Amino acid sequence: MVKSVIIVGLGGFIGTVARFLISRYFQVHVNSVFPWGTFVVNIAGSLLIGFILGLSELGEFLSPETRLFLTVGICGGLTTFSTFSNDAFILVKEQDWIRFIIYASLSFFIGLLAVYGGRIAAKSIFI
């Protein structure tokens, strides 16, 4: 159990730092009220977790520890539903209904497609 906690914690550290850097990049370089940083990390994380889980469905490419590190650790630290929810709440609070609908819809549907795309990519690369 302690080993799993350390594995997840290290992966979470990497994912969290990556999320911070990616979000910060968009805050500095993109002049928009649309929350691009959160959107990008959530879609990238969806693609990554889809790829990892798709790869693990193909056989023993990844040990259980590696899968735990990559999915719960890195992907869990990288993506953030709480930040997504807060960004969406801010758009609702500001009554920016169009951006809210676009952001919430795209985050969900493109995230779902990214998970599927990651699984397909893993299977097409390793079959």
- pTM: predicted TM-score of the whole model, two decimal places: 0.82
Range of the domain at 59: 2-126
pLDDT tens readout for residues 38-60 = 999 999 999 999 999 888 888 88
Number of separate domains in the chain? 1
**Of 82, 38, 75, 80, which is closest to residue 53 (Cα–Cα)?**
75
pLDDT tens readout for residues 81-92 = 878 998 999 999
Query: H helices within 33-96, ranges in order?
Result: 36-57, 64-68, 76-78, 81-93
Measured in whole angstroms, the distance separating CA 6 from the mean position of its chain's CA atoms is 21
